[in-house]
Amino acid sequence: MLFMKGNPEEPKCGFSHKVVEILKQEKVDFESFDILSDDEVRQGLKVYSNWSSYPQLYIKGELIGGSDIALEMQKSGELKRILTEKGIIKEETLEDHLKSLISSSPVMLFMKGTPDNPRCGFSSKVVNALKEEGIDFGSFDILTNDEVRQGLKVFSNWPTFPQLYYKGELIGGCDIVLELRNNGELKATLSE
């Protein structure tokens, strides 16, 4: 339950808007109450909750806090944990997490290191090929998360890195990307 200024479709303050966006990002169904529509509720809730400002986010009747707290909890993963523990959202499986990462950008590169600092020659070659073709891409450093690294090998049935995806589909690794570029097909393949 979100006590806010305005409603989710038309928040009347930036802090209320921020919490609405956080709840949407977490894919949470929620109810709201416009505290601007009832001064008795507006003043009474401040006393009841011992919280002087709005918005106020409650999960299963428990005050979580305002926009700053909700934002910090989202960044740390604490909000997702509480929502999962309280049965509001289901726990994300590794497969769901991988699908989410893969589709986080139309062109997505799973690589060792970052585009600015590749940690292997194959990753470096793919980054250079994409940059030379002027292709915007997202990336994920598989050295930072072994669960993603091992899970992606099984999920994609592709044992090595880098792995390049386009619109959620595996294109391939270094050899395939370089072959597509050498044949003049890379840009077309990644913009169909």
Q: What is the pLDDT of residue 27?
A: 86
Whether residues 125 and 173 share a domain: the answer is yes
Whether residues 183 and 132 share a domain: the answer is yes
Q: Name the pLDDT band for 136 (thresholds 50, 70, 90).
A: very high
Whether residues 77 and 110 share a domain: the answer is no
Residue that finishes a domain, picked among 61, 85, 109 = 85
Q: What is the pLDDT of residue 190?
A: 94
Whether residues 70 and 133 share a domain: the answer is no
Whether residues 64 and 115 share a domain: the answer is no
Whether residues 185 and 100 share a domain: the answer is yes
Whether residues 78 and 99 share a domain: the answer is no
Whether residues 78 and 122 share a domain: the answer is no
Residue that finishes a domain, picked among 46, 63, 85 = 85
Whether residues 131 and 179 share a domain: the answer is yes
Whether residues 41 and 125 share a domain: the answer is no
Give residue-wise pLDDT tens across range 8-27. 999 999 999 999 999 999 88
Q: Name the pLDDT band for 191 (thresholds 50, 70, 90).
A: confident
Give residue-wise pLDDT tens across range 68-114. 999 999 988 899 889 988 888 877 788 988 999 999 999 999 999 99
Q: What is the pLDDT of residue 50?
A: 95
Whether residues 31 and 111 share a domain: the answer is no
Quick check: 119 pLDDT over 90?
yes
| CATH number of the domain encompassing residue 109 | 3.40.30.10
Q: Which residue range is the domain that position 119 belongs to?
A: 94-189
Q: What is the pLDDT of residue 110?
A: 98
Give residue-wise pLDDT tens across range 145-190. 999 999 999 999 999 999 999 999 999 999 999 999 999 999 999 9
Mean of pLDDT values over 53-78: 93
Q: What is the pTM of this model?
A: 0.58
CB 138 within 8 A of CB 152: no
Residue that finishes a domain, picked among 31, 59, 85 = 85
Whether residues 71 and 125 share a domain: the answer is no
The count of structural domains within the chain is: 2
